[in-house]
Amino acid sequence: QVQLVESGGGLVQTGGSLRLSCAASGRVEMGWFRQAPGKEREFVAAINWTGGGIYYTDSVKGRFTISRDNAKNTVYLQMNSLKPEDTAVYYCAADSNIIRVRVAPAFWGQGTQVTVSS
């Protein structure tokens, strides 16, 4: 029933930045996954409703920042110092529980392409 609409993907050079947005149709816990061609989908980051629980995969720590605006039911992923290995389709994910968002989210966005050139 929950709808997630993503935006903000694009093509950038190594070292560049992008900011992804995901707007939800209701109050949910939210996070981000990514999937590169031929690879399994990978957890990237998640944030709980209060903002007190924030989780990142090791490869993006120090470069990516997840945040949310609860008044807008929207989560953001600020991606800085981008590398070619960050190239993937990025998917917004949501569930009623932050742990389920990290391991088996019930709802998915449509995906947005992020491409980082060498």
Report the distance separating Cα 38 and Cα 117, nearest Å: 18
DSSP the chain: ---EEEE--EEEETT--EEEEEEESS--EEEEEEE-TTS--EEEEEE-TTS--EEE-GGGTTTEEEEEEGGGTEEEEEE-S--GGG-EEEEEEEESSHHHHHH--SEE---EEEEEE-
Kindly state the average pLDDT of the residues 67-85.
97
Report the distance separating Cα 84 and Cα 70, nearest Å: 32
pLDDT attached to residue 1:
84
pLDDT attached to residue 52:
87
The mean predicted confidence, pLDDT, of the chain is 96
Q: What is the per-residue pLDDT across 6-54, written as a single tens digit (0 to 9) for each?
A: 999 999 999 999 999 999 999 999 999 999 999 999 999 999 988 889 9
Kindly state the average pLDDT of the residues 84-107.
97
